[in-house]
Chains A and B, each alone.
Chain A
Amino acid sequence: MAAIELERLERRYGERVALGGVSLRLDEGQTLAVLGGNGAGKTTLLRVLAGLLRPHGGSARVLGASLPGERWKLPAQVGYVGHEPLLYRELSGRENLRYHAELHGVPYSSLDPLLNRIGLANRADEPVRDLSKGLVQRLAIARAVLHDPQLLLLDEPRANLDPSAAELVEPLIGRSSGRTRVLVSHDVQGALEESDVALGLRAGLPAPVDSELYR
């Protein structure tokens, strides 16, 4: 069954086409690697799939929800790790996760095991502003998966993570999580190895995934 179906998807910022003519199908449990240089439209695509941006043309179905009309169906099923961690700097990691758990209707009892899994149980009560970028990224990943989403939208999720931290979060966001994933990465080889489908983007338009993609 298709988790994502896009048909000539288009998104503009004013007159500028940020994303155009993107068509693809991703089945449940598969991973899509989205590759391209800076400003290619990768983050825009993730934000459209998350329901954070409205498509301006074409059609998009995500987990059976037609965008933008059925956007409201998505949040319970989608986990999003973007450039911003979506955490409040003045609150501790635990307070941030409790806040998001309440918004998602997730019981608090699931938070301590999650903090253990990302290796942050000992520093969960420190304000986020005092944590390193790598620790904040682990928290952002925990925030994105705390409601056990079917679909993960991941924008450079391993940025700032050291190898041992990347291993820690692997069961949450890696292939072994069993979730459908859309993965934006600049590690072309790594992304291709862990994906079933690849989409190259150049200036918002689909492009072949080859050595020319980043030129």
Chain B
Amino acid sequence: MIATARTILRKDLLVELRTKESVPAMTLFTITVYVLFHFGLDRDSLDGELAAGVLWVTLLLAAVIGVSRLFAAEREQGGIDGLRLAPVDLTALFVAKAAALFVFLTAVELVAVPAFGLLLLGPGLGGAFPELLVVLLLANLGIGALGALVAALAAETRAHELIVPLLLLPLLVPLLIACAQATEPLMRQDAGPEDLGRWLSLLTLYDVVFVLLSVAVFDYLLED
């Protein structure tokens, strides 16, 4: 199963490298929103709750773009039939899609987080960067698992671009709360990882629940 997932992931990354459809769009969207906040809030810098909220809501909305495009090649070019005609466990498709979304989000954040710091963040991340990195990686894992599940659910529907945000965003609320709460103390003048363990535990639990749920139901989603 892992070898099959690796094959599908390699194909997905190659297709993204050639088409440049997801990551550039997600990155451009994120930076544009940060610029809009920069001028819209008419403040030189944000900190604390507001900074954490702006950072995470923007990243989650960017994730919607990635999730909407996650099964595009499969939907438009018969990739799901191709997989169902091969002797493979379709759970490998979930693993590959979740991993692809994880990679896309990480690539976006490599640009978006420094841009956020430059455009909006008052105190700067400074010494809190390792903590923020852990929050980002756990968030990416959760978004990857849930995103792959939602993208598969929407893949065979006509209104997939409508269904993705309607399904995805409400289910991301617990993740948003945990990410924002974990990040808020890191973005204050007196930055410190208050209650970080508690929120990281919630994020980990969220990730585990959606990974297990997705593995359990993914095959059935792609059945006729």
Interface size on B, residues (CB 8 A): 22
Return A146 CB to nearest CB of chain B, in Å: 11
Known A-B contacts A53-B224, A54-B223, A54-B224; A88 and B15 likewise in contact (beta carbons under 8 Å)? yes
Chain A residues near B224 (CB, 8 Å)?
52-54
Residue of B nearest to A73 (CB): B87
Residue of B nearest to A90 (CB): B18
Residues of chain B from 156 to 183 with CB closer than 8 A to chain A in the complex: none
Known A-B contacts A52-B81, A90-B15; A76 and B87 likewise in contact (beta carbons under 8 Å)? yes
- Assembly CA distance A104 to B82 (angstroms): 11
Q: Which of B7, B11, B81, B223 contacts A86 (CB under 8 A)?
A: B81
Cβ of B83 within 8 Å of any chain A Cβ, yes or no, is yes
Q: Which of A51, A54, A72, A91 has the most CB of B within 10 A?
A: A91
Chain B residues near A105 (CB, 8 Å)?
87
Q: Which of B18, B19, B82, B223 has the most CB of A within 10 A?
A: B82
**A86, B79: Cβ atoms under 8 Å?**
yes
How many residue pairs link A and B with beta carbons under 8 A? The number is: 69
Cβ of B73 within 8 Å of any chain A Cβ, yes or no, is yes
Known A-B contacts A91-B11, A102-B7; A75 and B87 likewise in contact (beta carbons under 8 Å)? yes
Interface size on A, residues (CB 8 A): 28
Chain A residues near B3 (CB, 8 Å)?
102
**B78, A85: Cβ atoms under 8 Å?**
yes
Chain A residues near B82 (CB, 8 Å)?
86, 100, 103, 143
**B87, A88: Cβ atoms under 8 Å?**
no
Chain A residues near B19 (CB, 8 Å)?
90
Chain B residues near A76 (CB, 8 Å)?
87
- Assembly CA distance A111 to B18 (angstroms): 23
Return A25 CB to nearest CB of chain B, in Å: 24
Which B residues form the contact surface with A (CB < 8 A)? 3-4, 7, 11, 14-15, 18-19, 73, 77-79, 81-88, 223-224
Q: Give 15 A-B pairs besides A52-B224, A105-B87 with Cβ atoms closer than 8 angstroms.
A: A51-B84, A52-B84, A53-B224, A76-B87, A80-B81, A86-B82, A88-B73, A88-B79, A90-B73, A91-B14, A100-B82, A100-B86, A102-B3, A103-B4, A104-B86
8 smallest A-B Cβ distances: which pairs? A103-B86, A84-B78, A90-B18, A86-B82, A102-B7, A86-B78, A75-B87, A76-B87
